[in-house]
């Protein structure tokens, strides 16, 4: 249903007139306030039937058209937004154009013919936006998946950190209603791409001991900047490159000064950069050995993090502890989605895969090649999450 249209106006008679003029041509919904309009949008997302076009009056009590459409653009980034108002204040017009990527500004009275023509243009624009997003997600998403699989073979330690980033980012995004932002999962998948420049032994040492000398630490701390440099060369990934370039890499409790306890901000979470930074910082603390309660306590006292984001981080921490059935399998029995419960070693004791890694087709191929040459210690202890795994071919 790609022709759903929402009209928001505080005058019921206006909405009634619009409904009569457009009845039978579109799937119409109406609301008499911005708050009611946002509720309808939330319901439409729950039913996976988002609005294609949202039309709002400018001056409404409680929440005006500028604020309403700015919020709409956050939760419905693909929606085409329009103003239908008797007010044509230039300053207000500029605000709504800048904050909500306004497609049309229509003035009352607006003839039924003109309104239908503009709505038809809006629906066509919506289809173009959706088609472009689908193409972007399929091509770019596929390329990113290949890059992360290459990273998993070249650096299993970095791949494990990436898997944690992906799991937590996905959970936080879903809880905050931002799963439609394609940049978030891609940023998580590419979060440790810069580790390709860090020598394997350095990453292995960090995984096993948690400590690096000053030279090794400098190499590891440079991986976000390396990631930024790599990704900045790819069109449309400028935001993601900056997010990754600003990721934290270490946490020193000896020099950390806890923030002054304040009421955690109640402002909405609408910034992908903030989510990626917060998840990255949480994982740095988690990897350093801090328990979840201590980390969340510090986040709660930090005014930089909105309360909803802190709550989402706490819920997402469960993603770091997957549930399932423990099994012992051979290399040939490995299946995608299984999680290694102990280090995988060659017959001579060399570590191939670290505990906590998730089985992917490239990792399974790597182990199969080692099993056919130098040998792999079997059986391999894995965690099987449900019954969704399927054999790797």
Q: Any idea where the domains of the chain sit in the sequence?
A: 4-130, 155-321, 322-393
Q: Is the pLDDT of residue 347 over 50?
A: yes
CATH classification number, 155-321, choose in 3.90.1310.10, 1.10.3210.10, 3.40.630.40, 1.10.10.10:
1.10.3210.10
Measured distance CA(232)–CA(54) in Å, rounded: 34
Q: Is the pLDDT of residue 265 over 80?
A: no
Measured distance CA(382)–CA(326) in Å, rounded: 6
Backbone φ/ψ region at 79: left (φ over 0), alpha (ψ -120 to 50), beta: beta
Q: Is the pLDDT of residue 114 over 60?
A: yes
Banded pLDDT at 260 (limits 50, 70, 90): very low
Q: Is the pLDDT of residue 276 over 60?
A: yes
Least confident of 110-114, 224-228, 287-291, 313-317: 287-291
**108-116 CB contacts, 8 Å cutoff, 24+ apart:** 108/14, 108/84, 110/84, 112/21, 112/22, 115/18, 115/21, 115/22, 115/84, 116/21, 116/22, 116/25
pTM of the model: 0.58
Banded pLDDT at 388 (limits 50, 70, 90): very low
> Which CATH architecture describes the domain 4-130?
3-Layer(aba) Sandwich (3.40)
- Predicted local confidence at residue 85, as pLDDT: 84
Measured distance CA(8)–CA(29) in Å, rounded: 9
pLDDT tens-digit map of 131-169: 877 777 777 777 777 777 777 666 767 777 888 898 899
| Mean of all residue pLDDT scores within the chain | 83
In the chain, at which residue ranges do the beta strands (DSSP E only) sit? Answer: 4-8, 27-31, 53-56, 80-85, 104-107, 325-329, 339-340, 344-345, 351-353, 380-384
């Amino acid at each position: 249903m790609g022709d759903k249209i929402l009209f928001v106006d505080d005058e019921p008679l206006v909405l009634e007139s619009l409904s009569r003029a457009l009845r039978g041509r579109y799937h119409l919904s109406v609301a008499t306030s911005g708050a009611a309009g946002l509720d309808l949008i939330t319901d439409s997302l729950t039913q996976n039937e988002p609005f294609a076009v949202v039309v709002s009056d400018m001056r409404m009590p409680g929440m005006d058209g500028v604020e309403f459409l700015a919020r709409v653009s956050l939760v419905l980034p693909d929606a085409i937004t329009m103003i239908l108002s008797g007010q044509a204040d230039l300053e207000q017009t500029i605000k709504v154009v800048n904050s909500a990527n306004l497609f049309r500004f229509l003035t009352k009275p607006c003839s039924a013919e003109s309104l239908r023509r503009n709505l038809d243009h809006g629906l066509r624009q919506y289809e173009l936006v959706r088609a472009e997003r689908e193409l972007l997600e399929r091509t770019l998403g596929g390329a990113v998946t290949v890059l992360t699989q290459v990273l998993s073979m070249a650096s299993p330690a970095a791949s494990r950190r990436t898997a944690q980033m992906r799991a937590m980012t996905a959970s936080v995004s879903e809880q905050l209603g931002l799963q439609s932002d394609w940049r978030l999962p891609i940023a998580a998948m590419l979060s440790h791409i810069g580790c390709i420049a860090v020598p394997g032994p350095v990453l292995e040492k960090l995984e096993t001991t948690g400590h690096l000398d000053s030279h090794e630490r400098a190499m590891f701390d440079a991986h976000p900047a390396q990631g930024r440099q790599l990704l900045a060369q790819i069109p449309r990934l400028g935001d993601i490159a900056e997010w990754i370039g600003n990721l934290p890499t270490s946490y020193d409790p000896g020099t950390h000064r806890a923030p002054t306890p304040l009421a955690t901000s109640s402002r909405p979470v609408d910034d992908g950069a903030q989510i990626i930074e917060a998840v990255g910082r949480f994982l740095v603390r988690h990897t350093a050995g801090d328990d979840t309660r201590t980390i969340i306590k510090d986040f709660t006292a930090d005014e930089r993090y909105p309360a909803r984001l802190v709550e989402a981080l706490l819920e997402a921490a469960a993603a770091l502890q997957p549930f399932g059935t423990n099994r012992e399998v051979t290399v040939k029995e490995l299946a995608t989605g299984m999680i290694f419960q102990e280090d995988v070693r060659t017959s001579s004791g060399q570590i191939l895969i670290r505990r906590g890694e998730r089985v992917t087709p490239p990792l399974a191929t790597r182990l199969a090649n080692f099993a056919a040459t130098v040998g792999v210690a079997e059986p391999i202890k894995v965690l099987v999450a449900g019954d969704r795994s399927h054999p790797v071919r």
